[in-house]
Amino acid sequence: MRGMTPEREAQYRDGMRAAAAVGAAILRAGGSALDAATAAMVDMEDGGVFNAGLGSCLTTAGTVEMDAAVMRGSDRAIGAVAGVAELANPILAARAVMEHTPHCLLAAEGALAFARDQGLERRTDFPPAHRRAEWESKRATLEARAAGKSVEQGLAELGGVLGAQEDDPLGGDDHHDTVGAVAMDAQGRLAAAVTTGGIWLKMPGRVGDSPLPGAGFWAVDGHGAAVATGTGEYLMRVMICHEAVHFMRAGDDAQTACEAVVALLESEFGPDQGGLIAIDPQGRLGWAINTHGMGRAAWHAGMAEPAVAVWPEDDWDRPL
Ligand code: ASP
């Protein structure tokens, strides 16, 4: 991520600001936190800039398998999908699971069939050229590392590939590009939404933290809401979002809670594993990472447009 070009960083900042503005418009008009968070994710899925929807990263087989989830804080309603292909907006499929099934999480073919029944838009133009090019170069690096073995075998032998170390063949933490939103509306209701292509060169069938309650997202009115990004294999083992909300429920502000759970993540699994954003019941925002950067956008009533930041040392580019 640190190596991103100025053009890419500008796209990133614009994409985050635009998505947050979509959510802000809904909140400004008196809409729900859930609608705002969902709409922001649709915008990011459609843009192709982030690791979600059109911009999803690819599996070892060069295919797209997306995960997404929503949670409504007022009644702990959850909808999620895992391992879905050929869908323009996995977040809308997750929302439909919440609203039109008795279940919380649908996966793979069943999820896709359900989404089609719901009339959700199909998308078959994956991957865009820039993702295909990234896939080719990452796969070539892995192949070279694996010295003639299959990529799958190479991945297994590398083991630490998920660790995003300096010599990470997947290119450092630039594969942690999942997008998520937390929101509070005028009624004080909370929501969380998250959508992702997962991690680069994951095994087909691999599901990360994002569609898993407590790991990739969590929201309970009066307690707090959080969404995570990073290496799902580790985030799910500390239940990072549930843990953050637990701290907020116990009285921590969102910032303190985020820092506490990233410290926990790092103490268990080392540096460069991920981060999260959160909102507490007082509407205060928090974020923390132990990676090189994480794009973030923020808006609250009274702000003309959302503020954004990318690097750990960045101040918000508009006053909050
Ligand atoms: N957390 C996601 C996953 O492991 C990846 C990401 O944050 O980009 O699937």
**Helices 240-249 and 254-269: crossing angle, nearest 10°?**
140
| Ordered structural domains, the chain, with CATH | 6-126+173-309 (3.60.20.30)
The CA distance from 94 to 110, in Å, is 13
Q: Contact at 8 Å (CB) between 29 and 305?
A: no
Mean pLDDT of the chain: 91
Range scoring the smallest mean pLDDT among 117-126, 169-178, 262-271: 169-178
CB distance 196 to ligand 1 below 6 Å? yes
Closest atom of ligand 1 relative to the 207 alpha carbon: 9
Question: Is any ligand 1 atom within 6 A of the Cβ of residue 180?
Answer: no
The radius of gyration of the chain's CA atoms, rounded to the nearest angstrom, is 18
Question: 209 CA distance to ligand 1 centroid (A)?
Answer: 7
Give, in degrees to the nearest 5, the angle at Cα 265 between 134 and 185.
85
Tokens, residue 28 = 């400004």
Query: Does the annotation mark 178 as catalytic?
Result: yes
Residue 178 Cβ contacting ligand 1 at under 6 Å? yes
Q: From the alpha carbon of 274, which atom of ligand 1 is closest? A: 7
Q: Please provide the distance, in angstroms rounded to a whole number, between the alpha carbons at the two ends of the chain.
A: 25
Per-residue pLDDT, averaged over 65-87, amounts to 98
247-257 tens-digit pLDDT: 999 999 999 99
User: Tens digit of pLDDT for each residue in 27-38?
Assistant: 999 999 999 999
pLDDT of 111 higher than 90: yes
CA of 184 to the centre of ligand 1 (A): 24
Identify the burial level of 147 via C-beta atoms within 10 angstroms of its C-beta, where 0-12 means exposed, 13-18 middle and 19 or more buried: exposed
Q: What pLDDT does residue 163 have?
A: 40
Hey, whose CA ends up nearest to atom 8 of ligand 1?
176
Ligand 1 centroid distance, CA of 235 (Å): 9
Q: Is the pLDDT of residue 165 over 50?
A: no
- HSE value, Cβ hemisphere, 13 Å, CA-based, for 195: 34
Instruction: Tell me the CA distances in angstroms from 71 to 16, 91, 124, 219, 225, one per residue in order.
Output: 21, 11, 27, 6, 9
Which of 178, 196, 231, 291 is catalytic? The answer is: 178
Token digits of residue 162: 């998920």
* Tokens matching residue 275: 């981060």
Contact 287, 275 (CB under 8 A): yes
CA distance 44 to 92: 12
Indicate which atom in ligand 1 lies nearest the CA of residue 208. 9
Residue 130 has pLDDT above 90, yes or no: no
Q: What is the Å distance from ligand 1's center to 102 Cα?
A: 26
Mean pLDDT of 208-229: 98
What is the mean predicted confidence (pLDDT) over 5-10?
A: 91
Name the residue among 58, 26, 63 with its Cα closest to residue 42: 26
| Contact by Cβ (8 Å): 136, 143 | no
Rounded to whole angstroms, the Cα distance separating 46 from 139 reads 25
Backbone angles phi, psi at 74, to 5 degrees: -70, -35
